[in-house]
Structure 1
Amino acid sequence: MVGDLGGERPPRYAALAGRVRRLVAEGRVPLGSRLPAERELAAALGLSRATVTAAYARLREDGWAVARQGSGTFAALPAGPDRGGWVPAPADGDVLDLAHAAPLGSPLVPVAFERALAELPRHLPGHGYHPAGLPDLRARIAERYTARGLPTTAEEVLVTAGSLHAVSIAFQLLLRRGSRLLVEQPTYPNALQAGLAAGARVVPAGLAPEDPAAGLAAAEEALAAVRPPVAYLMPDFQNPTGVLRGVAERERLAAALRRAGTTAVVDETLVDLGLDATPPPPLAAFGPGHVSVGTLSKSAWGGLRIGWLRADAALVRRLTAVAVRTTLSQPVLEQLAACAVLDELDVSLVGHRRVLRERRDVLVDELRRRLPAWSVPLPAGGLVLWCRLPSARSRALVAAAEPLGLRLAAGPLFGTGHALDDRLRLPWSQPPDVLRRAVELLVAADAAVGGGAPVAGPEEFRALPAGV
């Protein structure tokens, strides 16, 4: 996981510290986990023990590790609000971030806040707490589900602080420590971490854009064999594969879930971003009892922290009881702004999709032209490409790209165990000129890697073990 340090600039200890720091920041080395003993890591990487000692000292100085007398060195986070999670980082000089798929804000947002501020005085005589969400916002979200083919009332909606918050709430209610959680492999890393944080034992079902039918069959087989209480699924432009499930596939999946007695937490984060195809009705329309998750982060702006859960009213009441343990209510002003965004969202999405379609096509064309040995798909929507590399070198590629000013996310980050090192996720959320520059840097990094595989680290560096 650390990779070959041969191409890094000296001193070698600083390069090693940088590699470990990235692994902790990406979540691939869990916080609090013990780092390998100095002698063991030195032997595994072919370095002197003095180099590893100096690297660990740098990590401790910078706050990325702590030493415990007699126990070893453990992964930690430095002080500061922007470190340690797998989230988009603040602007970092000339570094291009293709590790995260975070679009720029919609022009709708400032207008929506102007309207929200004008509407706010009407709410000031009240206490401002709405544990399940502002009634007007819940009604608007319900209307959108009904229009998509899933009849919904306001009482069947819980407003949350984004989709990850919604997924975490659902996992906290539906999972018990040691419960099995079916996930697609690959999947969204933060949702995977949320499941692990809830104590789940992860059951991966393989999924690839080249053969989505095989992925559906794998999910059916896993549901029948394991009968997990919960499954986390993304049928709408799945992150990162981009797979869109059709009506017949949703019917099969709903039937398999019903036979297994499994509740699906269905992440619909990307449902509004159909570039060449329109998604069918929600998976919950094909079978009762499932939880649908939505957000405005990809269709409007990630800084507008508004998401939601959709489920039957009784389940929403139980989910609300879980949500208020940590957050009594979402901010009224943001919810009013979300109402204004939703009122104009369908018109805004026409231009938003046009921009994203152009960016997707630029990225696909550049990659296919400059890196012809790569397998580059053309997904019908979403925000990312799930590229297949000629060899298992994703982690080495990420390490080679960072010094060039290009930040990437390695394939294994999106799965369990050690799989997916022959895959790389690339978002097209950046402007065309940035994407072209990023591909130039990617070509240089790929040439530096030369198709070699990274050096494997000791057991302690293996992140996200499969729970089966």
Structure 2
Amino acid sequence: MTGLVRGPHLARMLGQWHSLPGRRRDPDYAALAGAVRGLLADGRLPLGVRLPAERELAEALRISRTTVTAAYRALRETGHLTSRRGAGSWTTLPNGHRVGSSGMWTPLEDLDVIDLGCAALAAPAELAGAARAAVEDLACYLGGAGYHPTGIIELRTAVAERYTERGLPTSPEQILVTNGVQHALDLVLRLVLPPGAGVLVEAPTYPNALAALAARRARITTHGLDTESPGWDADLLLGGLRQTRPRLAYLIPEFQNPTGHLMPAELRERVVAAAQAAGTDLVVDESFVDLALDGVEVPPPTAVFDRHSRVVTIGGMSKPYWGGLRIGWIRASAPQVQRLAAARVGVDMAGPVLDQLVAVRLLADAEAIVSARRAQLTVQRDALLAVIRAELPSWRVRPPQGGVTLWAELDGPIASALARAAEEVGVRIAPGPRFGLDGTMERFLRLPFTLPPAELTEAVRRLAAVRYDLDRVARPLWREPAVIA
């Protein structure tokens, strides 16, 4: 079924589209069309969505219908919109583009782009050896059908042992292996979140989590994070749980994506208690838990404080190991795991056995691999911080204690305009509104430090150049923007 975005909602997403820096000489219709393309580029506006009627959007934006008509015509000419008389207009994939990560689109020829939109590392050197060993391990599974809805026992045992070592006693029966962390979140939502139920999330937060919640038609409320440590305002967060009593809350307590904040142990305990009192299930995303930097001590898992099976923990191997290894997991009570497995059978049956065997091999060498990752990320983070301070000193950036991203506060509400301008010089970035609702956070930008220092340095220098140009020269054309993953 095709989704529909109403005029007022699209107007909120567009924000101050008519007064962005760098488009002072563009006709209003061209600026509006460019802003819509920008929403498509960073995933805030999905493909296949029906846009509001021209009159409805004109009223919401308080502009002439002629301007909207011309903007829609421009979008049809570039292949971003398909219209049918009497039926409406839908967002479409332009020629020369492909669907990229999370359903967003990217040009077919973008090999020279420095991609700061994707916060993930290349594979470690140990992965090839682990894959070769896993092929040998596969022999003992070839006599069976190969379906393991909860995951192979070797991997479930290895993951359970990791939780136990962190102070959270866990048995293999409490682990369900998934095809990545996003798959884990989707399964949990299928099981515990009725359509239209209330959900509390942090703001900013992981965009694909917002997409998963939108697919469940969740009623989302947000808890705003501060730019300074620890990020969470305890009174506001706990008050939000007590007052809204959401069916579910989604939190990233370890090196939060995108801010890098680390939730203190005392607040974790209070959040679990408040969730229990409110009847709220907590989904805790531990994607970055292994990536503490500067010797920072990570508090115990949030589920340590759970006495009523209210906390479901999801994690995986994408961030510390490799995104191409689609291995994630859910840690919950044994009965919950069985219910999740039953729900999973109707979705994808089971995960690939060979990938799970590779994961077992990597986890056996986790100490060496993750230690090297932390050292690599520390060097890259420091290089990114140094070039930002040198080239863009008016930006405010708090050095994160872990994870893979910086959350930069810009010198104006220019994130979307900067993202479009950066494409012109071969840099892809994720503007702040990508991580929130309704076009907010235009003063922020997520910058991952997952690339080599030389590429990070070059990318920021290009950003500094186009940032300067935004205040000086109007760009005559809106380039078709690319994916932000």
Aligned residue number for residue 405 of structure 1:
426
* Residues 1:333 and 2:363 aligned together: no
Identity %: 42
* Residues 1:55 and 2:71 aligned together: no
Matched ranges for 1:28-427 at <5 A = 28-35=44-51, 44=63, 52=71, 54-60=73-79, 64-77=80-93, 82-83=99-100, 85=102, 92-212=110-230, 214-276=232-294, 277-288=296-307, 289=309, 290-427=311-448
Partner letter of residue 368 of structure 1?
A: R
Deviations 1:263-284 (A, max 9, x none): 1110000001001213111101
- Separation (CA, whole Å) in 2 of partners of 1:226 and 1:48: 40
Contact 2:229 2:261 in 1 (8 A): no
Contact 1:38 1:52 in 2 (8 A): no
Change (3 A) 1:83 1:19: farther
Change (3 A) 1:96 1:19: farther
Change (3 A) 1:257 1:426: same
Deviations 1:87-119 (A, max 9, x none): 696871321111120111111211111011111
Contact 2:431 2:446 in 1 (8 A): yes
Q: Alpha-carbon deviation of 1:322?
A: 1.5
- Separation (CA, whole Å) in 1 of partners of 2:460 and 2:242: 42
Deviations 1:411-445 (A, max 9, x none): 01101123211111110001000000110111012
Q: Alpha-carbon deviation of 1:347?
A: 1.3
Deviations 1:255-314 (A, max 9, x none): 222221211110000001001213111101111311101110011100000000000000
Change (3 A) 1:166 1:209: same
- Separation (CA, whole Å) in 1 of partners of 2:110 and 2:351: 30
Change (3 A) 1:294 1:21: same
More deviation, 118-127/300-309: 118-127
**What's the secondary structure of 2:313's corresponding residue?**
strand
Unaligned runs of 5+ residues in structure 2 are: 1-13, 474-485
Change (3 A) 1:53 1:425: closer
Q: Alpha-carbon deviation of 1:343?
A: 0.4
Contact 1:77 1:83 in 2 (8 A): no
Aligned residue number for residue 445 of structure 1:
466
Aligned residue number for residue 461 of structure 1:
none
Deviations 1:200-243 (A, max 9, x none): 10010111231536533221110010111210000000001111
Change (3 A) 1:207 1:88: farther
- Separation (CA, whole Å) in 1 of partners of 2:248 and 2:407: 25
- Separation (CA, whole Å) in 1 of partners of 2:255 and 2:432: 18
- TM-score using structure 1 length: 0.89
Contact 1:14 1:58 in 2 (8 A): no
Q: Alpha-carbon deviation of 1:25?
A: 3.7
Change (3 A) 1:51 1:228: closer
Q: Alpha-carbon deviation of 1:44?
A: 4.5
Aligned residue number for residue 463 of structure 1:
none
When the two chains are superposed, the root-mean-square deviation of aligned CA atoms in Å is 2.9
